[in-house]
Amino acid sequence: MPSSDAGRTAAHDRLAFIAAETDEARSAAQSLAEHYGATDPDEADVIVALGGDGLMLSCLHRFMSSGKPTFGMNRGSVGFLMNEYAVEGLHERIAAAHITTIRPLAMRATTSHGEVFEAKAINEVSILRQSHQAAKLSILVDGRPRLRELICDGILIATPAGSTAYNLSAHGPILPINAQLLALTPISAFRPRRWRGALLPLHVHVSIEALERRKRPIAAAADAVEIRNVAKVEVREDPDAACIIMFDPDHSWDERILAEQFMY
């Protein structure tokens, strides 16, 4: 469950700078390290991520459940998860930042050969067709069949944190960061054509099974981890894992999600 707390709760003096593989991000990391000094990430109080949303997700995964918050500054493209970049006043910004704790999804994927893979997802778990054939899926919630046959390009299970990412591009709903909900969003549904997805309580166990999997192979992805030739995917919130992200108070995650709903 995501939660928000304003203000500084611990010493945030030791900063580690992690940059994306771009000249702009690396130059920013060098400038900040010269200005504030750089600490090894394992010893740092705060991780400062310099890049775009992909780098932020990578840092959140890397430092998941470590207790280390990540403060991102945009040196990439979209930067929805990032704050504005500036060299000056970083300690003050971090001290005043709003802190949001995110609980990721736990994905368990079983392949057609019986292999089992587990991964965490901060944004979404996506199930996607693996060939020219549309996927044919069965959806169960807490063990109860809810949609016995869905023919589609795929389906997403998105967290509130991920509801403005791939989920939004697939015409799924935007969820407030503290919503106790998951978005179940089809991608190009063919049958039933009018099904637009569902909002599920955060605590549910979702199981998606591949039908006709030899003819219609599917892949499952938890953020950047992809498993191919999947027979069954199980998804639930992981109550034992946590990611901590920091935002400037005048540009909080709640404000970003609200503003996103009025964009055109």
Same domain, 31 and 74: yes
What is the pLDDT, as a whole number, of residue 176? Answer: 87
Domain span at residue 111 reads: 105-237
Assign residue 165 the CATH number of its domain.
2.60.200.30
Provide the token pair at 135. Answer: 């996927």
b/e per residue 38-64 (b: at least 16 CB within 10 A): bbebeebbbbbbbbbbebbbbbbbebb
CA atoms within 13 A of residue 143's CA, in its CB half-sphere: 0
DSSP 83: B
What is the pLDDT, as a whole number, of residue 215? Answer: 95
Same domain, 178 and 200: yes
Query: Exposed (0-12), middle (13-18) or buried (19+): which is 96, by Cβ within 10 Å?
Result: middle
The partner residues of 99 in beta bridges, in order of sequence, read 5, 246
Same domain, 229 and 111: yes
Looking at the 3D structure of the chain, how many domains does it have? 2
b/e per residue 209-234 (b: at least 16 CB within 10 A): bbbebeebbbbbbbbebebebbbbbb
Same domain, 256 and 146: no
Same domain, 216 and 121: yes
Assign residue 50 the CATH number of its domain.
3.40.50.10330
From 5, 23, 53, 153, the catalytic residue? 53
Residues in the chain predicted with pLDDT less than 70, given as ranges, are 1-11, 263-264
The answer to whether residue 53 is catalytic is yes
What is the pLDDT, as a whole number, of residue 62? Answer: 96
pLDDT in tens, 166-194: 999 999 999 988 889 999 999 999 999 88
